[in-house]
């Protein structure tokens, strides 16, 4: 299932898959990426001593479109609980190689390609697998490596942040690499930066900038700012000690007055005495006489005549003399 020599691969149709768990093997990668398109071969570099894979691999598809589709749907999915990173093995190196190549020196022998990729991919898109220069006979590291970024923003950030930092107990040195064609001239010149700014393809692989910067809202569709909150109501002064707090003010109709005492009952202690009601009609005392109903009247029966008794007064001689009625 492993691929043949690198020169025989279709680099434009080959993707790099990093951050792989130790349980992942070539068969699992094949089954995973065949869902995106026909897979030609899978290659996972292995350690020369332990024969375990180094946490990354390469998958070659039948065509470049299949590789692009796999990058879109498979990047950052979780495999055995770990998110994997998927990008082009060459990342359109012919078109995207803007010259942001950096040199990393004073590497510890334990540093491998996986560690370099995991460390420096945080600053931007890496076009191809970090290249550690090794002895062709023993395979041991020579202590330096090269990394090719897709933009100068990423390479500048990597140099500023990692130059002089410790990696596996060694302080590494980072600078722009020398050009192959020019003598003594390094990458990162003003001419290269100008050409990179004019290359529209150099902006295609910047996931950090793509997801971190939100596009500005289009003109004329922005929502108006929210209205200011209403001012707070003035707080009432605290009531004196021993008195109940005042009732809150209401904006509706005034409350009804408390009901007064019933007729014939003494007023409540908290209410004023009721006003006297003047009598209606007749002089004073008339109402008292009217209030006393007297004996009930008896209606006569039919055919019965009621005669009033005749009172006879008798005057004695003494009463006549004194003018009094006996």
| pLDDT of 285 over the 70 cut | no
Share of the chain above pLDDT 90, in %: 27
* Residue 321 or 208, more confident: 321
113-120 and 152-162 helices cross at what angle (nearest 10)? 100
Q: Can you tell me the mean pLDDT for 18-38? A: 93
Say yes or no: domain 6-88 is CATH 2.40.160.60.
no
Q: pLDDT band at residue 73, thresholds of 50, 70 and 90?
A: very high
CA distance 313 to 218: 125
42 phi/psi in degrees, rounded to 5 = -130, 135
What pLDDT shows up at residue 11? Answer: 79
Query: What region does 64 belong to: left with phi over 0, alpha with psi -120 to 50, or beta?
Result: alpha
Q: Which helix (H) or strand (E) holds 148?
A: strand 141-149
317 phi/psi in degrees, rounded to 5 = -60, -35
Of the ranges 37-46, 87-96, 246-255, which is most confident?
A: 37-46
* Residue indicated by tokens 């350690």: 47
Fold: same for 6-88 and 93-204? yes
Strand 78-79 and strand 82-83: the pairing is antiparallel
194 phi/psi in degrees, rounded to 5 = -70, -40
**Residues forming a β-bridge with 43:** 58
What pLDDT shows up at residue 128? Answer: 75
Question: What is each CA distance from 215 to 72, 153, 154, 209, 211, in whole angstroms?
Answer: 21, 19, 21, 11, 10
Q: What is the mean pLDDT of the chain?
A: 74
Q: How many residues does the chain have?
A: 326
| pLDDT of 206 over the 80 cut | no
| Non-local CB neighbours of 157 within 8 Å, separated by 6+ positions | 123, 124
Q: What's the whole-model pTM score?
A: 0.41
320 phi/psi in degrees, rounded to 5 = -65, -40
**Residues forming a β-bridge with 143:** none
**Residues forming a β-bridge with 88:** 15
| Of the candidate ranges 70-84, 136-150, 306-320, the one whose mean pLDDT is the lowest | 306-320
For residue 160, count other CB atoms closer than 10 A to its CB. Answer: 10
**DSSP assignment letter at 248:** P
Strand order in the sheet with 14-18: 39-43, 56-61, 14-18, 85-88
For residue 173, count other CB atoms closer than 10 A to its CB. Answer: 16
CA distance 20 to 54: 8
What pLDDT shows up at residue 136? Answer: 85
What pLDDT shows up at residue 124? Answer: 86
* Residue indicated by tokens 């290659």: 43
* Residue 289 or 253, more confident: 253
pLDDT in tens, 78-125: 999 888 989 887 544 455 678 889 999 999 999 988 899 889 988 988
Cβ atoms of 174 and 159 within 8 Å: the answer is yes
Residue spans per domain, the chain: 6-88, 93-204
CA distance 248 to 99: 76
| pLDDT of 5 over the 60 cut | no
93-204 CATH: 3.30.70.330
């Amino acid at each position: 299932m492993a691929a043949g020599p690198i020169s025989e691969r279709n680099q434009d149709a080959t993707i790099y898959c990093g951050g792989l768990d130790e349980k992942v093997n070539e068969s699992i990668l094949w089954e995973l990426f065949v869902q995106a398109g026909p897979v030609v071969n899978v290659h996972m570099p292995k350690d020369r001593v332990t024969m375990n894979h180094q946490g990354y691999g390469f998958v070659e598809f039948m065509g470049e479109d299949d590789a692009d589709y796999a990058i879109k749907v498979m990047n950052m999915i979780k495999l055995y609980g770990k998110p994997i990173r998927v990008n082009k093995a060459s990342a359109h190196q012919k078109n995207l190689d803007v010259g942001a190549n950096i040199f990393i020196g004073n590497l510890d022998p334990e540093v491998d390609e996986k560690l370099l990729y995991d460390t420096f991919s945080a600053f931007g898109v890496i076009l191809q697998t970090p290249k550690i220069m090794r002895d062709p006979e023993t395979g041991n590291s020579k202590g330096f490596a090269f990394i090719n970024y897709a933009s100068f923003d990423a390479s500048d950030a990597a140099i500023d942040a990692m130059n002089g930092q410790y990696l596996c107990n060694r302080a590494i040195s980072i600078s722009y690499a020398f050009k192959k064609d020019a003598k003594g001239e390094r990458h990162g010149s003003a001419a290269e930066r100008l050409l990179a700014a004019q290359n529209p393809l150099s902006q295609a692989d910047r996931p950090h900038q793509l997801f971190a910067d939100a596009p500005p809202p289009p003109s004329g569709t922005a929502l108006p700012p929210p209205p200011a909150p209403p001012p707070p109501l003035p707080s009432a002064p605290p009531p004196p000690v021993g008195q109940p707090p005042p009732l809150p003010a209401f904006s509706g109709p005034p409350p009804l007055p408390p009901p007064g005492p019933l007729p014939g009952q003494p007023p409540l202690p908290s209410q004023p005495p009721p006003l006297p009601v003047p009598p209606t009609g007749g002089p004073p005392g008339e109402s008292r006489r009217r209030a006393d109903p007297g004996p009930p009247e008896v209606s006569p029966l039919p055919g019965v005549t009621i005669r009033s008794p005749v009172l006879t007064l008798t005057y004695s001689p003494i009463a006549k003399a004194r003018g009094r009625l006996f």
